[in-house]
Amino acid sequence: MIRPCWQRVVLRLAVVGCTATGLARAAEPFEVAKTATGGAIVRLHGEPIAEYFVDRANKPFLWRIIGPTGKAMTRAFPMADEPGETTDHVHQRGLTFAHQGVAGFDTWVEAATIGYGEDAKKAEKMTTLGAIRHRGYRALAGGTTAVIHAHNDIVDAANRPLVAEERRMTFATADSARIIDVDIDLVAAHGPVQLADMKDAGVYIRVPDSMAVDRRAGGTIVNSAGDRDAEAWSKHAAWVDYHGPVEGEHLGIAILNHPSSFRHPTAWHVRTYGLFCANPFGMKQMNPEAESGAVALAAGDRISLRHRFIFHEGDEEQAGIGRAYEAYAATTPAPLAP
């Protein structure tokens, strides 16, 4: 029996539980190489599909992520100028992690964001501007999958370390989809620390402008509970899919929240203008009736964030995202201890 394309994608995704890393072992030749600026570039069949930047802002990020049909699945701004593209939220770069309140310091915004205010306000905000500093790599590996495992430190305005961050990004393919597993551990390796209840926090991606719901061109947000568009904001869900038109095709990005992830099912800071963020920290800021999501980490404590990004064709039903989540949930992500 010949199955429809979306069913074949689901079937391939369903086998991920049979592998040690939770990813399909397709014979796809990945390469990973360091760049001249200390970042890393991932190639599939010799073509770049993502680059990890460590020198462009106050935090590392993946950018120019190329989807399964060869289209860019991240907004170009502010790394590049594209005619007609929005220029809001200069700090929302590609795919990354950030938090607005780590011991009182903000890694979500950056100096360019603060620069839009008055001088006195800028000077005050700069005193609480933190950063996520790249310290090195645990692993850079290609093959049937690709791995970038980086070691970072969240630091204060004086560059003093507050929290250690382990970030592993594993790239794979599954028929007509591309996958990035983003596994992050926040470790109180430098002493106790407080993570504040903030809506601007978590693992996020800025989707292509044309896909944004606010463009009114067919962009749609939908979560595992069936909430759509603006109704999906702040809701807790196992997964969310953001899909819409990209250069003449209907493409999508799904983020799946693994059951082992901190405060699963996470809340979602997903906006109709194009921000797509899984946020388990801003419980009260996103819902005034909820208890505070602030976290006090004792020295040595560790928080684990586990998410799978699926870059796919069609909408969430055509891509079989519900079934893909079931397959992902059945896996056991490898630990991140160095």
Quickly state the pLDDT bin for 28 (edges 50, 70, 90): low
Quickly state the pLDDT bin for 130 (edges 50, 70, 90): very high
pLDDT at residue number 195 = 98
Closest C-alpha to 231, from 292, 272, 281: 272
Peptide bond into 208 cis (omega under 30): no
In sequence order, what E strands does 20-155 have?
Answer: 30-34, 40-44, 47-53, 61-63, 95-99, 131-141, 146-155
Q: Is it the case that residue 283 has pLDDT exceeding 90?
A: yes
C-alpha to C-alpha distance for 275 and 210, rounded to whole angstroms:
13
Query: Has residue 323 been placed in a domain?
Result: yes
Q: Within a 13 Å sphere around the CA of 240, how many CA atoms are in the beta-carbon half? A: 30
- Print the domain residue range for 18: 5-26+96-329
Tell me which residue has tokens 């997903």: 270
Q: Is it the case that residue 15 has pLDDT exceeding 70?
A: no
Task: Domain count for the chain, please give it.
Answer: 1
Q: Are 106 and 290 in contact (CB under 8 A)?
A: no
pLDDT at residue number 3 = 37
Query: Has residue 53 been placed in a domain?
Result: no
Sequence-distant (6+) residues with CB within 8 A of 99 are 106, 107, 108, 154, 195, 196, 198, 200, 201, 202, 281
Orientation of helix 5-14 relative to helix 321-329, angle to 10°: 10
Peptide bond into 83 cis (omega under 30): no
pLDDT at residue number 119 = 78
Mean pLDDT of 49-55: 98
Query: Has residue 67 been placed in a domain?
Result: no
Is pTM, for the whole model, over 0.85? yes
| DSSP per position, 202-214 | EEEEE--GGGSGG
- For the stretch 194-233, pLDDT in tens is 999 999 999 999 999 999 999 999 999 999 999 999 999 9
Query: Has residue 89 been placed in a domain?
Result: no
- For the stretch 243-255, pLDDT in tens is 999 999 999 999 9
pLDDT at residue number 120 = 82
Helix (H, G, I), strand (E, B) or coil at 27: coil
Closest C-alpha to 190, from 282, 96, 108, 302: 302
**Helix (H) or strand (E) segment spanning residue 251:** strand 249-257
Mean pLDDT of 256-269: 98
Helix (H, G, I), strand (E, B) or coil at 177: strand
Rounded to the nearest integer, the mean pLDDT of the chain is 92
Quickly state the pLDDT bin for 116 (edges 50, 70, 90): low
Q: Is it the case that residue 82 has pLDDT exceeding 70?
A: yes
Mean pLDDT of 19-42: 75
pLDDT at residue number 117 = 62
- For the stretch 91-107, pLDDT in tens is 999 999 999 999 999 99
